Structure formats: C-alpha cells, structure tokens
Amino acid sequence: MKALFVFIAVLFPVLPLHAELRTFKNTKGEEIKAEILDATDARAELKREDGKKFFVPLTSLSEADQKWIAEWRKTHKRFKVEVSAAEKKGNSRTEKGDAFAGKEIKGNDCWYLLTFNNKTAEPLTGLRIEYIVFAPSGVAVPSVCGGSEVADIPAGKSGQVTTGKLFAEQARTVFQAGNSSTVRFTENSLAGMHVELIMAGKPAGTFVYGKVPADAAAQLQQWRDKQQPAKEKAP
C-alpha cells in the first residue's frame, strides 16, 4: 500500500473557558476583581478587567478563595492539543458506477489519519470529532462526512482516528510518439478537510487542512442535522 504523508500541526485550547469575574482576596486582605483562566495545585492564572494576565500562588489567597478554586477545577479543565494530519492512499484500482457515468476509471481510495497529542499534564477524555473530507478538484465523487470518538489520551501521549475514504480518480496523460501513444496515470490528492472538535457535547475547536469551500462548516452542519432522529409527525 502506498501512502502520501502531509503534516500540519495546530496547538490550541480544546476546552475554552467561560468568562467568570470574581473578587479575589489575598491573605493581607487586599482585593482584586479578575477572571480565572487556569489553575493547578500550586497556582492560579488570573486576568484582570483591563486584560492583564498574571499568576498567583494559591497559598497567597484567602482560605475561601482556595476552596472556591478547588471546586472550580472540578468542572473547568483547560487542555492543549496538537493536531496533525497525514493523507493516506490505498493501492491503485478501478471503479465503476453512477458517479462515473458508467465508465471504468483508475484511482485510489484516499483518507486522512488524524493524530492528537495531549500537551497537558492531565488525561484528555470525552473528545469527539466530526469532519467533512473533500475530493480533488474535478473528481466526480461527493465529499464524505463522518464522526468518531477519540479514545482517552493519557497526559503527554497521543491518540489517532481515521476519516472515511474517498475514491479519487487518477489524472490521465497521453504521450504521443509518432503513430504510437503512451498513457500515464498520476495519483491525485484529496483537496482538504474541515474538522470540528467536540468536548463533552460542546464545540471545542476547529482544524482545517488543505483547500476547503467557504461553506465547509455549513455543509458539515447539514450532514449533522440529517443524523438527528426524525421528529414524529403530529397527528
């Protein structure tokens, strides 16, 4: 099997945090109104109303604030994931069907292998992707949509999923030499894909590779709408 690898990496927070202003007090009784961005066992990252970000040791905060942050951490997690894509191709084969007007053509099954590197110190759980993959320009096959659950990824480790396959017709070039001719086939590559990451049922990020239509997200949403159970008709 032949494989064409194309690599691209994007690092972004998987689970955006909701703005939540709170008045924090330190052990000296000094107060500041800020939004909490992240927290560990030792410190918290805060953002003031003017946008300035800074870190504070948890031990410098009041006991009430330390307890509040401990509860906040149970429901607010901030992950960083590095996403990479590799295009894979199967062996050359022929295909025949309505999409090709009854003609037998030569091509390859093409798909993407997505790798998710967990760049944080906590396991990444509950990640799901939904995607739309686009065929090469001029190829008479529709795009393919799908969804996949990503297995739990331990801290500092990676996980992988594959997209659905598209049959991409090979480019055909005829070389003429006197009274004879030679046909050469060249493998095509997929145009690109639009991937949406979902964490605990909520949108968490978008990964786009290659060239995709401006309405790629809308096309994916149309597919998503069709997956919903049909509503019962009113009597």
List, for residues 177-225, the tens digit of each pLDDT value.
Answer: 777 777 677 888 899 999 999 887 778 888 999 999 999 999 999 999 9
Closest Cα to residue 120, out of 82, 148, 72, 84? 82
Domains in the chain: boundaries:
9-13+79-227, 21-75
Q: Return the pLDDT at 138.
A: 65
Beta bridge partners of 116: 83, 159
Can you read off the two tokens belonging to residue 13?
């927070």
Is the Cα dihedral 52, 56, 62, 63 positive or negative?
A: positive
Collapsing DSSP to helix, strand or coil, 60 comes out as helix
The whole-model pTM stands at 0.67
CATH superfamily, region 21-75: SLA1 homology domain 1 (2.30.30.700)
The average pLDDT across 90-114 equals: 79
Helices (DSSP H) in 125-210: which residue ranges?
A: none
What average pLDDT does the structure give for the chain?
Answer: 82
Residue pointed to by tokens 């993407």:
112
**CB-CB contact of 21 with 32 (8 Å):** no
Give the Cα separation of 193 and 214 in Å (integer).
12
List, for residues 54-71, the tens digit of each pLDDT value.
Answer: 999 999 999 999 999 998
CATH of domain 9-13+79-227: 2.60.40.10
**CB-CB contact of 61 with 25 (8 Å):** yes
